[in-house]
Amino acid sequence: MKILLKYILPVVLLLFLQSCSRADENEDVFTQEEISAIELTVVDELSGASSTYTYIANSAFQPAILLQDGRSYLVSVAFRNGAEDITDEIIDERDEHFLIFGFTDTDITLTRLDDDLRTDGKRLGVKSRWQVNNTVTGSTPKLNLALIHDAADVSEDQMGTAWGSVTGGETDAVAVFSITD
């Protein structure tokens, strides 16, 4: 009996420890630390002028997006992990991701323009059109942009001052941009 325990116990412990391995974790989960920067490329539809605004993760600095009343802008979002552009990976996993555009103290109508739809028929939001009705409507106009992972349900509709909402899920990354005219 002692010999049996001597050999079986280590094998059972080894199997138990192996089952607790992190190797089975899904590699597509992008944490705030892995997304080091979020870039917005904003193109004025009338003039064609393009500007890029980069938010560095966990930074106190908020890039100021320059917009004009009555203008329409094509906006694309890019995600970076250091120098590596991971936007395509997020687009490939669009069923697991969703962007929420939270505008405050500004009046902007957002339309999602992504080429590829999620399986629920919704658009991720990496391409959008912003119709600027009024750039500044309060003292601190800004955009809080959130990338949500694994939401149970998503909506592209406007909810209060945010374009898009989710049920469940986790926040993979948040970027804050100030807005100015």
Looking at residue 23, its pLDDT comes to 44
129, with CB counted inside 10 A (0-12, 13-18, 19+), is: middle
pLDDT of residue 69: 98
| Per-residue model confidence (pLDDT) at position 157 | 94
Query: What's the pLDDT score for residue 123?
Result: 97
The fold for domain 26-180 equals: Immunoglobulin-like (2.60.40)
What span, in angstroms and rounded, lies between the C-alpha atoms of 169 and 91?
17
User: What pLDDT sits at residue 2?
Assistant: 56
- Ordered per-residue pLDDT tens for the chain, 181 residues: 555 445 554 554 444 445 444 344 444 444 444 899 999 999 999 999 999 999 999 888 999 999 999 999 999 999 999 999 999 999 999 999 999 999 999 999 999 999 999 999 999 999 999 999 999 999 999 999 999 999 999 999 999 889 999 999 999 999 999 999 9
Per the rule left: phi > 0, alpha: psi between -120 and 50, beta: everything else, 148 is beta
Ordered by start, the domain boundaries in the chain are: 26-180
Secondary structure class of 161 (helix, strand, coil)? coil
Residue-level pLDDT at 25: 43
Contact 122, 156 (CB under 8 A): yes
The predicted structure's pLDDT at residue 26: 45
Q: In whole angstroms, how large is the CA radius of gyration of the chain?
A: 22
